[in-house]
Amino acid sequence: MRAFFLSTIPFLVCFLGAFASTHSSCSAQDFPTAGPVTKVHDGFQFTEGPAYDGKKYLYFTDIPNNRILRTDLKGSLEVFLEPSGKCNGLMLDGKGTLIGCRMDGELIAVDTTSKKVTTLSGKYRGNRFNACNDLVIDQQGGIYFTDPRYAAPEPWPQKVEAFYYRSPNGDVTRLGEQLTAPNGIILAPDEKTLYVLPSMQKELMAYEVVAPGKIGIGKVLYEIKQPAGKTNSGGDGLSVDVDGNLYLTTDLGIQVVSPQGKLLGIIQLPEQPANCAFGGPGNKTLFATCRTGLYSVELAKPGHVFPGVVSLQP
């Protein structure tokens, strides 16, 4: 989630108009989908963090309104948690607990029945996190998460922007602090590669996972295709399908990239996407949180379901 959208919501209307003009000038091919892009719900301020529970609900956040919402994908929509502590990225673990990144500087767990909130990690080396942004859970139950600058106090409590690993026993390790605004984070289906998507540099980074919570030196997997007039625009959130293809939310839409770093196409949307996640029947629906709306599109390939996360049910 990028900072200026929190503080300059009135600017959003003008920005989206500019986005539409640059978006239509994209020269890359459209990514093939199995159906049209559909609006699921709208009327929000800035949506983020889509996460499917494998059974019924898709959870997502509306950051300026300080809410976590959920929809049954059949028309029902409800406020699940308010206030949310400005929750951003979400994912459900193997027990069905909702794990969230609070931009108030915490990694939290929310019981989806009682709605009880538990802080998993709120500090590193004695200081609160800047503004926890997005996460992914590995098969051991460890959590990789990002902590960039957006909505962080000045000066930043951690002094640097970074990404971290919280082990199942609660220990937190800083993995990297070389990126400008590390934002989206995801694992490859075999969990041997960790991907980090910055928002203020165009390079999507890939890191070998040597062991849970331990990574090798990063390499640039892909340079994000830029809209007209921009040279170093990054991405926001990302997801992954069963073949390891990555779905990056960017200024131009959702850029779909192979594990080898090849652009496979772009899924164009009515609004600029902030994040995306798979869900629905067969896990073949890609849900995208796009500023004021939640959208869906059917794809031919299903999304990957992480072993440490919820199991899909028919």
Q: Is residue 46 part of a domain?
A: yes
Using 50, 70 and 90 to split pLDDT, how confident is the model at 2? low
203 pLDDT higher than 50: yes
Q: Mean pLDDT over residues 161-188, rounded?
A: 97
Burial pattern 288-303, b for ≥16 Cβ within 10 A else e, equals bbbbbbbbbbbbeebb
Q: What is the per-residue pLDDT for 9?
A: 37
Q: Looking at the 3D structure of the chain, how many domains does it have?
A: 1
**Whether 45 contacts 292, CB under 8 Å:** yes
Whole-angstrom distance, CA of residue 247 vs CA of residue 36? 17
Q: What is the per-residue pLDDT for 312?
A: 59
Q: Is residue 312 part of a domain?
A: no
Q: What is the per-residue pLDDT for 307?
A: 80
Q: In the chain, what percentage of residues exceed pLDDT 90?
A: 85
- Residue 162 identity (one-letter amino acid): A
Q: What is the per-residue pLDDT for 308?
A: 77
Q: Is residue 305 part of a domain?
A: no
Q: In the chain, what percentage of residues exceed pLDDT 70?
A: 89
Q: Is residue 205 part of a domain?
A: yes
Q: Is residue 230 part of a domain?
A: yes
pLDDT digits (tens, 9 = 90+) for 240-275: 999 999 999 999 999 999 999 999 999 999 999 999
Q: Is residue 30 part of a domain?
A: yes
Domain containing 95: what range?
Answer: 4-298
Q: Mean pLDDT over residues 279-306, rounded?
A: 96
Q: What is the per-residue pLDDT for 310?
A: 63
Q: What is the per-residue pLDDT for 309?
A: 77
Q: What is the per-residue pLDDT for 29?
A: 87
pLDDT digits (tens, 9 = 90+) for 111-164: 999 999 999 999 999 999 999 999 999 999 999 999 999 999 999 999 999 999
Query: Kind of pairing, strands 123-124 and 127-128?
Result: antiparallel
Q: Is residue 241 part of a domain?
A: yes
Longest dimension (CA), the chain: 49
Q: What is the per-residue pLDDT for 1?
A: 58
Provide φ and ψ at 148, rounded to 5°: -85, -155
Which of 147-151, 207-211, 304-308 bottoms out in mean pLDDT, i.e. has the lowest?
304-308
For 198-215, the DSSP string reads ESSSSEEEEEEEEETTEE
Computed over every residue of the chain, the mean pLDDT equals 91
Using 50, 70 and 90 to split pLDDT, how confident is the model at 311? low
Q: Is residue 167 part of a domain?
A: yes
25 pLDDT higher than 50: no
118-124 long-range contacts, Cβ below 8 Å, gap at least 24?
Answer: 120/166, 120/170, 121/166, 121/170, 121/172, 124/158, 124/164, 124/172, 124/174
**How many CA atoms lie less than 13 Å away from 121 in the CB half-sphere?**
31
| CATH code, 68 | 2.120.10.30
Give every CB contact of residue 112 below 8 A, 6+ residues apart in sequence: 53, 57, 80, 92, 96, 97, 98
pLDDT digits (tens, 9 = 90+) for 81-112: 999 999 999 999 999 999 999 999 999 999 99
Using 50, 70 and 90 to split pLDDT, how confident is the model at 27? very low
